[in-house]
A and B are shown apart, each in its own frame.
Chain A
Amino acid sequence: MTAIFYILAGIMLAAACYVAVSRDIARAVFCFFGVLFAMAGLYIFALADFVAVTQILVYAGGVVVLMIFALMLTDKQLLENIRRGESSGPRLFRARALPSILLALAVFAVLLQVITAVDWGNMAWRHEAVAAGNRITGHENMVENVGVNLMTRYLLPFEVISVFLLAALIGAAYLARGRTNN
Protein backbone atom coordinates (compact mmCIF):
# COMPACT_ATOMS: atom_id res chain seq x y z
CA MET A 1 0.00 0.00 0.00
CA THR A 2 2.77 2.42 0.93
CA ALA A 3 4.54 1.50 -2.31
CA ILE A 4 1.46 2.51 -4.33
CA PHE A 5 1.39 5.82 -2.50
CA TYR A 6 5.00 6.54 -3.41
CA ILE A 7 4.45 5.45 -7.02
CA LEU A 8 1.49 7.83 -7.32
CA ALA A 9 3.40 10.66 -5.66
CA GLY A 10 6.37 10.01 -7.94
CA ILE A 11 4.20 10.07 -11.09
CA MET A 12 2.59 13.28 -9.88
CA LEU A 13 5.87 15.05 -9.10
CA ALA A 14 7.51 13.95 -12.36
CA ALA A 15 4.51 15.10 -14.41
CA ALA A 16 4.32 18.38 -12.49
CA CYS A 17 8.01 19.05 -13.12
CA TYR A 18 7.46 18.41 -16.83
CA VAL A 19 4.51 20.84 -16.83
CA ALA A 20 6.69 23.50 -15.23
CA VAL A 21 9.71 23.00 -17.51
CA SER A 22 8.06 22.07 -20.82
CA ARG A 23 8.08 24.61 -23.62
CA ASP A 24 5.34 22.83 -25.54
CA ILE A 25 1.99 23.85 -24.11
CA ALA A 26 0.08 20.91 -25.62
CA ARG A 27 2.40 18.40 -23.95
CA ALA A 28 2.20 20.39 -20.71
CA VAL A 29 -1.62 20.10 -20.74
CA PHE A 30 -1.48 16.33 -21.25
CA CYS A 31 1.03 15.97 -18.41
CA PHE A 32 -1.23 18.15 -16.26
CA PHE A 33 -3.89 15.50 -16.85
CA GLY A 34 -1.47 12.97 -15.36
CA VAL A 35 -0.88 15.23 -12.34
CA LEU A 36 -4.62 15.53 -11.67
CA PHE A 37 -5.20 11.80 -12.07
CA ALA A 38 -2.39 10.83 -9.70
CA MET A 39 -3.68 13.44 -7.25
CA ALA A 40 -7.07 11.68 -7.26
CA GLY A 41 -5.26 8.55 -6.11
CA LEU A 42 -3.61 10.48 -3.29
CA TYR A 43 -7.03 11.77 -2.18
CA ILE A 44 -8.16 8.17 -1.75
CA PHE A 45 -5.19 7.64 0.56
CA ALA A 46 -6.35 10.69 2.53
CA LEU A 47 -9.80 8.99 2.98
CA ALA A 48 -11.41 11.67 0.82
CA ASP A 49 -13.34 9.46 -1.61
CA PHE A 50 -15.74 12.16 -2.69
CA VAL A 51 -12.91 14.59 -3.45
CA ALA A 52 -11.18 11.85 -5.46
CA VAL A 53 -14.30 11.24 -7.58
CA THR A 54 -14.73 14.99 -8.03
CA GLN A 55 -11.10 15.29 -9.04
CA ILE A 56 -11.47 12.70 -11.79
CA LEU A 57 -14.89 13.79 -13.03
CA VAL A 58 -14.48 17.57 -12.92
CA TYR A 59 -10.75 18.24 -13.16
CA ALA A 60 -9.37 15.32 -15.17
CA GLY A 61 -12.55 15.04 -17.24
CA GLY A 62 -13.68 18.64 -17.55
CA VAL A 63 -11.03 21.22 -16.83
CA VAL A 64 -8.37 19.49 -18.94
CA VAL A 65 -10.83 19.36 -21.86
CA LEU A 66 -11.45 23.07 -21.29
CA MET A 67 -7.70 23.71 -21.40
CA ILE A 68 -7.34 21.74 -24.64
CA PHE A 69 -10.20 23.74 -26.16
CA ALA A 70 -8.57 26.97 -24.99
CA LEU A 71 -5.37 25.80 -26.66
CA MET A 72 -7.25 25.12 -29.90
CA LEU A 73 -8.72 28.63 -29.83
CA THR A 74 -5.26 30.20 -29.86
CA ASP A 75 -3.24 31.16 -32.86
CA LYS A 76 -0.15 29.04 -33.42
CA GLN A 77 1.74 31.87 -35.07
CA LEU A 78 1.25 34.13 -32.05
CA LEU A 79 2.52 31.46 -29.64
CA GLU A 80 5.58 30.90 -31.79
CA ASN A 81 6.36 34.60 -31.89
CA ILE A 82 6.30 34.72 -28.08
CA ARG A 83 8.46 31.63 -27.89
CA ARG A 84 10.99 33.10 -30.31
CA GLY A 85 11.29 36.18 -28.13
CA GLU A 86 12.04 34.00 -25.10
CA SER A 87 14.54 31.70 -26.72
CA SER A 88 17.56 33.93 -26.10
CA GLY A 89 19.75 32.88 -23.18
CA PRO A 90 20.50 29.48 -21.63
CA ARG A 91 17.75 26.88 -21.90
CA LEU A 92 16.79 25.93 -18.35
CA PHE A 93 17.56 28.97 -16.23
CA ARG A 94 16.50 32.05 -18.08
CA ALA A 95 16.53 35.34 -16.21
CA ARG A 96 12.80 35.55 -16.94
CA ALA A 97 12.23 32.34 -14.97
CA LEU A 98 14.06 33.58 -11.89
CA PRO A 99 11.05 35.17 -10.07
CA SER A 100 8.98 32.01 -10.48
CA ILE A 101 11.83 29.82 -9.24
CA LEU A 102 12.29 32.10 -6.21
CA LEU A 103 8.57 32.04 -5.48
CA ALA A 104 8.46 28.24 -5.70
CA LEU A 105 11.45 27.96 -3.36
CA ALA A 106 9.84 30.38 -0.88
CA VAL A 107 6.62 28.33 -0.78
CA PHE A 108 8.68 25.17 -0.35
CA ALA A 109 10.58 26.79 2.55
CA VAL A 110 7.29 27.67 4.28
CA LEU A 111 6.02 24.09 3.85
CA LEU A 112 9.28 22.67 5.22
CA GLN A 113 9.06 25.04 8.17
CA VAL A 114 5.51 23.86 8.94
CA ILE A 115 6.44 20.17 8.60
CA THR A 116 9.40 20.47 10.96
CA ALA A 117 7.90 22.95 13.44
CA VAL A 118 4.56 21.23 14.11
CA ASP A 119 4.48 18.46 16.69
CA TRP A 120 2.14 16.16 14.75
CA GLY A 121 1.52 13.69 17.59
CA ASN A 122 0.56 16.22 20.27
CA MET A 123 -1.81 18.73 18.72
CA ALA A 124 -4.44 19.92 21.19
CA TRP A 125 -7.39 19.87 18.80
CA ARG A 126 -6.60 16.29 17.84
CA HIS A 127 -6.76 15.11 21.44
CA GLU A 128 -10.01 17.01 21.95
CA ALA A 129 -11.56 15.47 18.82
CA VAL A 130 -10.51 11.96 19.80
CA ALA A 131 -11.85 12.47 23.34
CA ALA A 132 -15.18 13.69 21.96
CA GLY A 133 -15.41 10.72 19.59
CA ASN A 134 -15.49 13.14 16.68
CA ARG A 135 -13.31 11.25 14.23
CA ILE A 136 -13.47 8.75 11.39
CA THR A 137 -12.07 5.26 11.63
CA GLY A 138 -11.70 4.65 7.90
CA HIS A 139 -14.54 2.12 7.72
CA GLU A 140 -17.36 4.60 7.06
CA ASN A 141 -18.72 5.32 3.63
CA MET A 142 -17.38 8.84 3.21
CA VAL A 143 -19.65 9.73 0.28
CA GLU A 144 -22.73 8.92 2.37
CA ASN A 145 -21.34 11.12 5.09
CA VAL A 146 -20.88 14.01 2.67
CA GLY A 147 -24.37 13.50 1.24
CA VAL A 148 -26.19 13.55 4.59
CA ASN A 149 -24.30 16.62 5.78
CA LEU A 150 -24.81 18.44 2.50
CA MET A 151 -28.57 17.88 2.62
CA THR A 152 -29.07 18.77 6.29
CA ARG A 153 -26.37 20.77 8.03
CA TYR A 154 -24.86 22.53 5.02
CA LEU A 155 -28.05 22.95 3.01
CA LEU A 156 -27.68 26.71 2.52
CA PRO A 157 -24.15 26.52 1.08
CA PHE A 158 -25.39 23.70 -1.13
CA GLU A 159 -28.18 25.81 -2.59
CA VAL A 160 -25.85 28.81 -2.86
CA ILE A 161 -23.63 26.65 -5.09
CA SER A 162 -26.53 26.30 -7.52
CA VAL A 163 -26.89 30.09 -7.68
CA PHE A 164 -23.15 30.34 -8.24
CA LEU A 165 -23.30 27.79 -11.06
CA LEU A 166 -26.25 29.67 -12.56
CA ALA A 167 -24.19 32.87 -12.57
CA ALA A 168 -21.29 31.04 -14.27
CA LEU A 169 -23.68 29.56 -16.86
CA ILE A 170 -25.19 32.94 -17.73
CA GLY A 171 -21.78 34.60 -17.74
CA ALA A 172 -20.32 32.01 -20.10
CA ALA A 173 -23.28 32.26 -22.49
CA TYR A 174 -23.17 36.05 -22.44
CA LEU A 175 -19.41 36.37 -22.93
CA ALA A 176 -19.35 33.86 -25.77
CA ARG A 177 -22.45 34.97 -27.72
CA GLY A 178 -23.67 38.16 -26.03
CA ARG A 179 -22.91 40.78 -28.65
CA THR A 180 -24.28 38.88 -31.62
CA ASN A 181 -27.79 38.69 -30.15
CA ASN A 182 -30.39 41.19 -28.93
Chain B
Amino acid sequence: MLLQSSASSYLPILIQGIMALAFVGITMVITHLVGPKRRTIDKLTPFESGISSVGNARSPFSIKYFLVAILFVLFDVEVIFMYPWAVNFRELGGKGMIEMFVFMGMLLLGFFYVIRKGALDWEK
Protein backbone atom coordinates (compact mmCIF):
# COMPACT_ATOMS: atom_id res chain seq x y z
CA MET B 1 0.00 0.00 0.00
CA LEU B 2 2.61 2.43 1.18
CA LEU B 3 4.88 1.71 -1.73
CA GLN B 4 2.17 1.89 -4.40
CA SER B 5 0.91 5.32 -3.50
CA SER B 6 4.23 7.05 -4.12
CA ALA B 7 5.81 5.06 -6.94
CA SER B 8 2.58 4.99 -8.95
CA SER B 9 2.69 8.79 -9.24
CA TYR B 10 5.72 8.25 -11.50
CA LEU B 11 3.72 5.99 -13.82
CA PRO B 12 3.07 8.79 -16.39
CA ILE B 13 6.84 9.37 -16.66
CA LEU B 14 7.38 5.65 -17.19
CA ILE B 15 4.69 5.57 -19.90
CA GLN B 16 6.25 8.60 -21.57
CA GLY B 17 9.65 6.93 -21.52
CA ILE B 18 8.24 3.73 -22.99
CA MET B 19 6.46 5.76 -25.69
CA ALA B 20 9.68 7.60 -26.60
CA LEU B 21 11.70 4.37 -26.78
CA ALA B 22 8.95 2.58 -28.71
CA PHE B 23 8.74 5.46 -31.22
CA VAL B 24 12.47 5.20 -31.91
CA GLY B 25 12.38 1.42 -32.15
CA ILE B 26 9.26 1.19 -34.31
CA THR B 27 10.43 3.95 -36.66
CA MET B 28 13.77 2.21 -37.15
CA VAL B 29 12.21 -1.20 -37.74
CA ILE B 30 9.54 0.10 -40.15
CA THR B 31 11.93 2.20 -42.23
CA HIS B 32 14.25 -0.79 -42.38
CA LEU B 33 11.43 -3.07 -43.57
CA VAL B 34 9.66 -0.66 -45.94
CA GLY B 35 12.55 1.24 -47.50
CA PRO B 36 14.27 -0.06 -50.65
CA LYS B 37 17.80 -1.37 -50.28
CA ARG B 38 20.35 -0.83 -53.02
CA ARG B 39 23.80 -1.42 -51.63
CA THR B 40 26.59 -0.14 -53.83
CA ILE B 41 30.23 0.24 -52.85
CA ASP B 42 29.97 4.02 -52.94
CA LYS B 43 26.99 3.98 -50.58
CA LEU B 44 28.69 1.73 -48.06
CA THR B 45 31.78 3.91 -47.65
CA PRO B 46 31.87 6.06 -44.48
CA PHE B 47 30.49 9.52 -45.25
CA GLU B 48 32.26 12.53 -43.85
CA SER B 49 30.77 15.71 -45.33
CA GLY B 50 31.61 14.58 -48.84
CA ILE B 51 35.32 14.30 -48.05
CA SER B 52 36.99 10.90 -47.85
CA SER B 53 37.68 10.17 -44.18
CA VAL B 54 41.21 10.60 -42.87
CA GLY B 55 42.85 8.79 -39.94
CA ASN B 56 41.29 7.07 -36.96
CA ALA B 57 38.21 8.33 -35.12
CA ARG B 58 39.69 7.22 -31.79
CA SER B 59 42.49 9.73 -31.52
CA PRO B 60 43.09 11.45 -28.17
CA PHE B 61 41.09 14.65 -27.64
CA SER B 62 42.32 17.87 -26.07
CA ILE B 63 42.11 18.21 -22.27
CA LYS B 64 39.97 21.35 -22.81
CA TYR B 65 36.95 19.19 -23.60
CA PHE B 66 37.43 17.29 -20.36
CA LEU B 67 37.64 20.51 -18.37
CA VAL B 68 34.33 21.65 -19.85
CA ALA B 69 32.82 18.29 -18.87
CA ILE B 70 34.13 18.60 -15.29
CA LEU B 71 32.78 22.14 -14.97
CA PHE B 72 29.44 20.92 -16.30
CA VAL B 73 29.26 18.19 -13.63
CA LEU B 74 30.16 20.65 -10.84
CA PHE B 75 27.48 23.14 -11.87
CA ASP B 76 25.11 20.23 -12.33
CA VAL B 77 25.62 19.41 -8.65
CA GLU B 78 24.92 23.06 -7.81
CA VAL B 79 21.64 22.97 -9.74
CA ILE B 80 20.54 19.80 -7.96
CA PHE B 81 20.84 21.64 -4.63
CA MET B 82 18.77 24.51 -5.97
CA TYR B 83 15.90 22.15 -6.75
CA PRO B 84 14.73 21.44 -3.14
CA TRP B 85 15.18 25.13 -2.36
CA ALA B 86 13.09 26.22 -5.34
CA VAL B 87 10.29 23.82 -4.33
CA ASN B 88 10.06 25.59 -0.93
CA PHE B 89 10.82 29.06 -2.23
CA ARG B 90 7.82 30.75 -0.61
CA GLU B 91 8.03 29.08 2.81
CA LEU B 92 11.75 29.70 3.23
CA GLY B 93 11.37 33.35 2.26
CA GLY B 94 14.14 35.93 2.57
CA LYS B 95 16.26 33.85 4.91
CA GLY B 96 16.34 30.98 2.46
CA MET B 97 17.19 33.45 -0.30
CA ILE B 98 20.26 34.68 1.61
CA GLU B 99 21.34 31.12 2.38
CA MET B 100 21.08 30.17 -1.26
CA PHE B 101 22.94 33.28 -2.38
CA VAL B 102 25.82 32.42 -0.05
CA PHE B 103 25.88 28.97 -1.59
CA MET B 104 25.80 30.33 -5.14
CA GLY B 105 28.29 33.08 -4.29
CA MET B 106 30.83 30.45 -3.30
CA LEU B 107 30.46 28.72 -6.65
CA LEU B 108 30.49 32.03 -8.51
CA LEU B 109 33.85 32.69 -6.85
CA GLY B 110 35.12 29.45 -8.33
CA PHE B 111 33.65 30.42 -11.69
CA PHE B 112 35.52 33.74 -11.62
CA TYR B 113 38.71 31.83 -10.80
CA VAL B 114 38.16 29.55 -13.79
CA ILE B 115 37.57 32.57 -16.07
CA ARG B 116 40.60 34.48 -14.74
CA LYS B 117 42.74 31.37 -15.04
CA GLY B 118 41.85 31.29 -18.72
CA ALA B 119 40.66 27.70 -18.41
CA LEU B 120 37.77 28.39 -20.77
CA ASP B 121 40.03 30.24 -23.21
CA TRP B 122 39.74 27.98 -26.22
CA GLU B 123 42.57 29.43 -28.29
CA LYS B 124 45.34 29.02 -25.74
Contact = CB atoms under 8 A, between A and B. Distances in A.
Interface in B51-69: 56, 58-61, 63-67, 69
Interface string A92-111: 00000000000000000000
A168 B71 CA distance: 9
Q: Which range contains the number of B residues in contact with the other chain?
A: 35 or more
Contacts of B78: 162, 165
Contacts of A163: 106
A20 interface: no
Interface in B72-124: 72-74, 76-81, 83-88, 91-92, 95-96, 99-100, 102-104, 106-107, 109-111, 113-114, 117-119, 124
10 contacts: A49-B6, A54-B80, A58-B80, A76-B59, A144-B88, A161-B81, A162-B102, A165-B110, A176-B66, A178-B117
Nearest to B92: A151
Contact of B113 (A138, A169, A176): A169
B107 A165 contact: yes
Interface stretch (A11-19, A63-71, A119-127): A63-71
Contacts of A70: 66
A166 B106 CA distance: 6
B45 interface: no
A115 B84 CA distance: 33
Contacts of B72: 62, 65
Interface of B: 2-8, 10, 14, 56, 58-61, 63-67, 69-74, 76-81, 83-88, 91-92, 95-96, 99-100, 102-104, 106-107, 109-111, 113-114, 117-119, 124
Given A4-B14, A148-B91, A181-B118, A45 B110 contact: no
A148 B80 CA distance: 15
A10 interface: no
